[in-house]
């Protein structure tokens, strides 16, 4: 019988990205407001990602972490990351992210 690959939803991808932490602060990329777009096309996840600053030294590391986590998902076998440059400010951090940062003495 032919195996049918399951279709992953964007929300499932977003939930997976909640497990990818910023290398500097112990909060997820989602809660830090860095994920600016998620689209699932077949078995490919297209991610739009920004950074807290344009000179972020951890760009490659973060992209590798995103790719590694999403490729663990059943139904995703390719990840395309596009870096985008909208403005980023602390207003983009989610309430949960702000709470987590406060717990570690940031914000």
Rule CB under 8 A: which residues touch other proteins? Answer: 30-31, 33, 35-39, 48-50, 53-57, 59, 63, 80-88, 91-92, 94
Which residues are within 8 A (CB) of 70 and not within 5 positions of it... i.e. 6 or more apart? 13, 16, 17, 45, 47, 76, 79
For other proteins, give the closer residue by CB, 38 or 45.
Answer: 38
For other proteins, give the closer residue by CB, 44 or 48.
Answer: 48
CA 94, 88, 62, 6: dihedral to nearest 10 degrees?
A: 60
For other proteins, give the closer residue by CB, 43 or 92.
Answer: 92
CB of residue 94 vs other proteins: minimum separation in angstroms? Answer: 6
């Amino acid at each position: 019988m032919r195996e049918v690959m399951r279709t992953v939803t964007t929300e499932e991808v977003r939930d997976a990205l909640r497990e990818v932490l910023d290398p500097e602060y112990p909060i997820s990329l989602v809660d830090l407001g860095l994920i600016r777009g998620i689209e699932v096309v077949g078995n490919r996840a297209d991610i739009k990602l920004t950074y807290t600053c344009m000179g972020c030294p951890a760009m490659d590391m973060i992209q590798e972490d995103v790719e590694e986590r999403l490729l663990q998902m059943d139904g995703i076998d390719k990840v395309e990351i596009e870096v985008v440059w909208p403005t980023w400010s602390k207003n983009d951090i989610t309430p949960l992210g702000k709470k987590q940062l406060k717990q570690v003495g940031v914000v």
